[in-house]
Structure 1
């Protein structure tokens, strides 16, 4: 892949995920179609993030791939309509996934507590 690369980061919990944005060429003014490289991530985050981002009605296409099993990164491709940029869709997706994860954790903790109360 050739093109301009820029680093950005998205805070996920307490850690900042290293994200590299790949632009197809320097003249590309469109913000609606981008590929992001998420370093030190795999299918676990890739599939969950793809699912949540695709729920956004502004997103036309979102997919991810792992370039090679020995590489510790995923490529996330996002294409949006003209109402938002691909980076905005990514940030919204990360925020939504984090909120969803927190909700699942709270429900899980409540279920564990309820189960412990039944046992005692």
Structure 2
């Protein structure tokens, strides 16, 4: 990802303020680092940091950023190392169901969300 500067950050803030209504499945404005990751043009983006740094939230935001109302054929795949990384309260499955108002989210048959 590009080195962040004040002009780039201002552009990100203005973009998300103007597009906020369009991004209906993301319930809040992303932090600057999250916004940079979501808007990156690269197909693969590396992010790192300590636990609790909103990396998983950023992944979900990026997956949902391009969803439209008529996107019946849209598919996204987010993989984690362990099942517990997906299942615990506040993890990706739980968060996705909250954000999407329990709309159709398909899981692998071995995953039984609580």
What TM-score, normalized by structure 2, do the two folds share? 0.27
What TM-score, normalized by structure 1, do the two folds share? 0.26
- Larger % of strand: which? 1
